[in-house]
Amino acid sequence: MNVDLTTSPVEALKSLVIGIYEEGELTPTAKKIDKLTHGYLSNIIEKNMFQAKLGQTHFLFYPAETKIECLLLVGCGKPDTLSATGFRKIIIQAIKAIMTVKIKQFTFCLAEIEVKGRSLPWKVKQCVETVYQGVYQFDLFKTEKEPIYLKDISIHLAQNKQFDACKEALHQGIAISNGVILTKNLANTPSNICTPAFIAEQAKALAKQHEQISIHILEEKDMEKLGMGALLAVSQGSAQEAKFICLEYKNAKKSQAPIALIGKGITFDTGGNSLKSPDNMVGMKYDMCGAATVLGTFHAIAELKLSVNAVGIIAAVENMPGGTAYKPEDILTSLSGQTIEVISTDAEGRLVLADALTYCERYQPETVIDIATLTGAVVVALGTHATGMVSNYPPLANALLKAGEESHDRVWELPLWDEYQEQIKSPFADMANTGGRAAGSITAGCFLSRFAKKFHWAHLDVAGTAAMMMGTSERMATGRPVPLLVQYFLDQGK
Ligand code: BES
Ligand code: MN
Ligand code: ZN
Whether residue 281 contacts residue 256, with contact meaning beta carbons closer than 8 Å, is answered with no
- At residue 56 the predicted structure's pLDDT band, cuts being 50, 70 and 90, is very high
HSE of 100 in the Cβ direction (CA atoms, 13 Å)? 10
Q: How many angstroms separate the CA atoms of 117 and 390, rounded?
A: 27
Write down the pLDDT at residue 161: 86
**What confidence tens digit (pLDDT) does each residue in 353-370 have?**
999 999 999 999 999 999
- Least Cα distance to 285 among 472, 29, 416, 10 occurs for 472
Instruction: Evaluate the omega torsion of the peptide bond into residue 365 and state whether it is cis, within 30 degrees of 0.
Output: no
Does residue 461 have its Cβ closer than 6 Å to ligand 1?
Answer: no
Write down the pLDDT at residue 469: 85
Helical H segments across 37-100, by residue range: 40-46, 84-98
Write down the pLDDT at residue 159: 83
Q: How many angstroms separate the CA atoms of 332 and 227, rounded?
A: 10
Residues in the chain: 494
Closest ligand 1 atom to residue 286 Cα is 8
Which residues on neighbouring strands pair with residue 152, listed in sequence order?
Answer: 2, 105
Closest residue by CA, ligand 1 atom 5: 376
The Å distance, Cα 322 to ligand 3 centre, comes to: 17
**What confidence tens digit (pLDDT) does each residue in 280-331 have?**
999 999 999 999 999 999 999 999 999 999 999 999 999 999 999 999 999 9
Closest residue by CA, ligand 1 atom 3: 375
Q: What percent of the chain has pLDDT over 90?
A: 96
Q: How many angstroms separate the CA atoms of 418 and 420, rounded?
A: 5
Q: How many angstroms separate the CA atoms of 468 and 476, rounded?
A: 5
Closest ligand 1 atom to residue 377 Cα is 21
Q: How far, in whole angstroms, is CA 457 from its chain's centroid?
A: 19
Whether residue 389 contacts residue 457, with contact meaning beta carbons closer than 8 Å, is answered with no
Q: How far is CA 472 from CA 248, 288, 415, 468, 475, in A?
A: 37, 18, 33, 10, 6
Interval 397-425 mean pLDDT: 98
- Of 17-31, 324-338, 380-394, give the lowest mean pLDDT range: 17-31
The Å distance, Cα 212 to ligand 3 centre, comes to: 31
The Å distance, Cα 459 to ligand 1 centre, comes to: 15
Does residue 463 have its Cβ closer than 6 Å to ligand 1?
Answer: yes
Interval 219-232 mean pLDDT: 98
Domain architecture of the chain: domains with CATH? 2-160 (3.40.220.10), 178-493 (3.40.630.10)
Q: How many angstroms separate the CA atoms of 467 and 262, rounded?
A: 18
- At residue 107 the predicted structure's pLDDT band, cuts being 50, 70 and 90, is very high
Neighbours of ion ligand 2 (CB under 5 A): 269, 346
Does residue 348 have its Cβ closer than 6 Å to ligand 1?
Answer: yes
Active site residues: 276, 350
pLDDT at 185 over 90: yes
Which residues on neighbouring strands pair with residue 317, listed in sequence order?
Answer: 266
Q: How many angstroms separate the CA atoms of 311 and 317, rounded?
A: 19
